[in-house]
Chains A and B, each alone.
Chain A
């Protein structure tokens, strides 16, 4: 069984893993990082999105062994003190961009990557950019609003009204 070394949210973990184990199962079942949920088995829903070396990936589509020697950021790593202090976390709360919240970790991580590429996205660009993340509760309107609000805050340092 291969031994892998993965940095997750700032801590380094070493494990022997079966080569077939998915990164999301490794995170959830071996490392206890259950903040990243699983919503499907065909890489359609995006609930399990994390950052791998800073880029968003669906962690159900990556093998744990592929993360060897690399760094993973999950939603739990955005505000390690649990304060929900990251601008995207605050914006999702403020704009009521979640209801059941199951898609939220993936939605936030995908938005983080989106804003890195495009710090001032239009409504259309947010919608296209989050196409790989499904939400069943919100109808997306407030998610779009939250992402643009967080973007505006990051650009101007001010929270949009």
Chain B
């Protein structure tokens, strides 16, 4: 059996199902001190005085430090994405010094012998605050005379970024159909199941002090560099380890103040220090996602042919710009056009400061927001012109013969087959049958109405060609690194710079290596997540691991085979051109008996007794792969909901997802990624919202208030695939991690609006709770 394409259960499961895990909080070296943070109860206030004397005197307390105590050494948290030359970038100290700008911002910390003593001592810290005006509403924040989050900036607007292509005025002028809508992408909390944790172990003293920092992070390599930049501790003195990491979804694509402070506290105290957040503080202090107000205008002909699209966004940055905060909404700039052809497009985004937790990447990062808007608009357009929502898409999408296709947003979609995915989805969904049932229920005025939502999406992932990131002023490249080492005994070590936190790299990467090298799967070990083991990498986010890191490995394997071929040819006294490689064996074409296994070649390369001239001993290779293009997964999702018009309760009756993620290395893992993505996208549509009260207090700090769906809240999904290989990489793979989240939110909301359209409802704000659906029904019905 070839390994690539095999639905192999995962190698990493064994330790996870037995509890033999290495979560950061499981690690407690001898002498470890525990850190607890005092966080601001105010959304915006001046810090007048912090009295820590009583806390210092408590038993088992080793140190109590304020932002002021660390002001000289703590630096400022980094933002790696200067999206415009005049972008306002406020200083962001890891611990607040003079002013707090969101509820939950760290103000002081206690370092103590144990977790309980540290928490107790927080109670004895006394802070005098002078409350300042609170800025919470983005639309009001950009009006003249608004109160300011950062008074020194003179504005709450961080930047305005514009993209335009085509003649939008011409497209809009006299357009027979002009749809204007305002959609709100509510603020979400990523909620990885493992709360953040960080442990820093110092070694030595003085200028030769070394640090090993364990963190529940998606980005050990980027974190190491950024820690060095922020603290001025030399980069080669810092080793970052991401041990087992319990989910991220973007929330651990960050350089957090607690990580910087762990390093500084370990340096100051000369002992290991550990901090593990509680869920309640995490909900306030882990970056949030989404949070946009979208004003969108779509121009079309009477037959539904699109002419142009205008997008005006306000994107909530929160109180500070973190690692990629300003760039997240801009990733959407390239996606608002979706899978459709149009003549003109304009995108304007203003990033706005508010007194809320900073936002940053959350599963999909900019693309779910864009996809939501265009897919909601396509359903609105269908209703406006009175054609089926699938048909209106068909009239506008790029047909499979038209690839590669240069989009109005400036990307080149390499491949795709929207027709095939849609046909498959319609059949699995029994679309016509459900439409007939819907008709019947409408006729009968059934109190339970049926709605059908369509979402035909694509997304850009596999971040990213370095030259593209450069053109967007991002602070780094988008390459990935892999190395392959054939050990003298014939076993294989694979090292990847892409660091998994649930994605299953240890299985999928071993499958790629086993397949390419022709060795047993069990003979391959995959190493990752430690800067001392994996010398370079760009880590894991943006559905990039397989499409960039997996391809790096694929190429590294081929490079090793090329070297082995040279040695094998020498050993067999044959020409390299006459050698075939398959099933882990080199053979001389036409001479069945003459051959060598790759293990035999490895041994010869290790012994190095008789290598061809110019060939170095040992069989290993390194590849740093820079992708030539994004990958563009696509698919068609169909959702049927039943809505009880008397209670407003929505139940998902059927959900069909047909995704095209190109060639598949492990179908089991792909299916799991789709399921999880759907759950998070559906959660945005129906359940989740970070809510602030009028004073700027987050009221959804617990899982009782922030409604992560349980098994009882979600349906069983029907998933299937079409396979249109990506043209941009030799594996033909595309990303899959974010696709389900991107596609599903509009599918669900479209279904809800579809159910309620006869009642005059044109939109329901997310999350579409029973109360909101009920209210929309009453208000719609009144029209």
Contacts and interface: CB of A to CB of B under 8 A. Distances in A.
Interface string A73-88: 0111011001110000
Contact of B17 (A41, A98, A100): A98
Given A104-B16, A134-B193, A137-B193, A37 B246 contact: yes
Contacts of B723: none
B675 A84 contact: no
Contacts of B501: 100
Contact of B249 (A38, A84, A136): A136
A156 to B, nearest CB: 21
A41 B677 CA distance: 25
Contact of A140 (B17, B246, B668, B714): B714
A34 B168 CA distance: 60
B671 A96 contact: yes
Interface in B687-734: 702-704, 708, 710-712, 714, 716-717
A41 B278 contact: yes
Given A45-B193, A100-B193, A37 B115 contact: no
Interface in B1-59: 9-10, 12-14, 16-21, 23, 25-26, 28
A47 B477 CA distance: 37
Contacts of A34: 19, 21, 23, 25-26
Interface string B460-502: 0000000000000000000000000000000000000000011
Contact of B669 (A36, A96, A133): A96
Contacts of A128: 711-712
B194 A29 contact: no
Interface range on chain A (Cβ under 8 Å from partner): 35 or more
B115 A140 contact: no
Interface string A8-37: 000000000010110001001100001111
B245 interface: yes
Contact of B703 (A40, A127, A144): A40
A101 B12 contact: yes
B279 interface: yes
B678 A99 contact: no
A132 B713 CA distance: 11
A101 B679 contact: no
Contacts of A141: 675, 714, 716-717
A93 B18 contact: no
B704 A42 contact: yes
A138 B703 contact: no
A39 interface: yes
B596 interface: no
Interface string A93-127: 11010111111110010000000000000010011
A135 interface: yes
B244 interface: yes
Contacts of A37: 21, 23, 25, 194, 246
A137 B502 contact: yes
Given A42-B279, A96-B10, A138-B672, A102 B702 contact: no
A101 B710 contact: no
Contacts of B673: 99
A35 B247 CA distance: 17
A82 B17 contact: no
A40 B279 contact: yes
Contacts of A136: 191-193, 247, 249, 676, 679-680, 708
A84 B17 contact: yes
A132 to B, nearest CB: 7
A139 interface: yes
B81 to A, nearest CB: 26
Contact of A75 (B12, B19, B115, B672): B19
B250 to A, nearest CB: 12
A93 B10 contact: yes
A89 interface: yes
Contacts of B717: 139, 141
B770 interface: no
B656 to A, nearest CB: 13
Contacts of A104: 16-17
Contact of B21 (A18, A89, A101, A144): A101
B195 interface: yes
A138 B501 CA distance: 13
A140 B711 contact: yes
A53 interface: no
Interface string A60-74: 000000000000001
Nearest to A141: B675
B778 to A, nearest CB: 30
B710 A99 contact: no
Nearest to A102: B246
Nearest to B710: A131
A143 interface: yes
A8 to B, nearest CB: 12
B116 interface: yes
A37 B16 CA distance: 11
Contact of B193 (A96, A102, A123, A142): A102
A132 B710 contact: yes
A136 to B, nearest CB: 5
A80 to B, nearest CB: 9
A83 B246 CA distance: 22
B312 interface: no
Contacts of A138: 672, 675-676, 679
A98 B13 CA distance: 8
A44 B703 contact: yes
Nearest to A135: B193
B704 A140 contact: no
A101 B246 contact: yes
Given A130-B710, A131-B710, A139 B17 contact: no
Contacts of B520: none
Contact of A143 (B19, B191, B245, B711): B711
Given A84-B18, A93-B9, A41 B279 contact: yes
B503 interface: yes
B37 to A, nearest CB: 14
Contacts of B714: 127, 139-141
B193 A39 contact: yes
A103 B116 contact: no
B765 interface: no
Contacts of A40: 195, 278-279, 702-703
Contacts of A102: 23, 192-194, 246-247
Contacts of B20: 35, 76, 82
Contacts of A143: 711
Nearest to A79: B18
A47 B716 contact: no
Nearest to A21: B116
Nearest to B363: A136
Nearest to A92: B17
Interface string B169-207: 000000000000000000000011111000000000000
B504 interface: yes
B280 interface: yes
A111 to B, nearest CB: 11
Contacts of A140: 675, 679, 710-711, 714
Interface in B416-439: none
Given A79-B18, A96-B672, A140-B679, A127 B10 contact: no
Interface in B278-335: 278-280
Contacts of A38: 25, 195
A35 B672 CA distance: 23
20 contacts: A20-B116, A42-B703, A75-B18, A76-B19, A84-B17, A96-B672, A100-B194, A101-B13, A101-B16, A123-B716, A126-B711, A127-B714, A131-B710, A134-B708, A137-B502, A138-B672, A138-B679, A140-B711, A141-B675, A141-B716
Sorted nearest first, the 4 A-B pairs with minimum C-beta distance are A35-B19, A101-B16, A100-B502, A102-B246
Interface of B: 9-10, 12-14, 16-21, 23, 25-26, 28, 114-116, 191-195, 244-247, 249, 278-280, 501-504, 668-669, 671-673, 675-680, 702-704, 708, 710-712, 714, 716-717
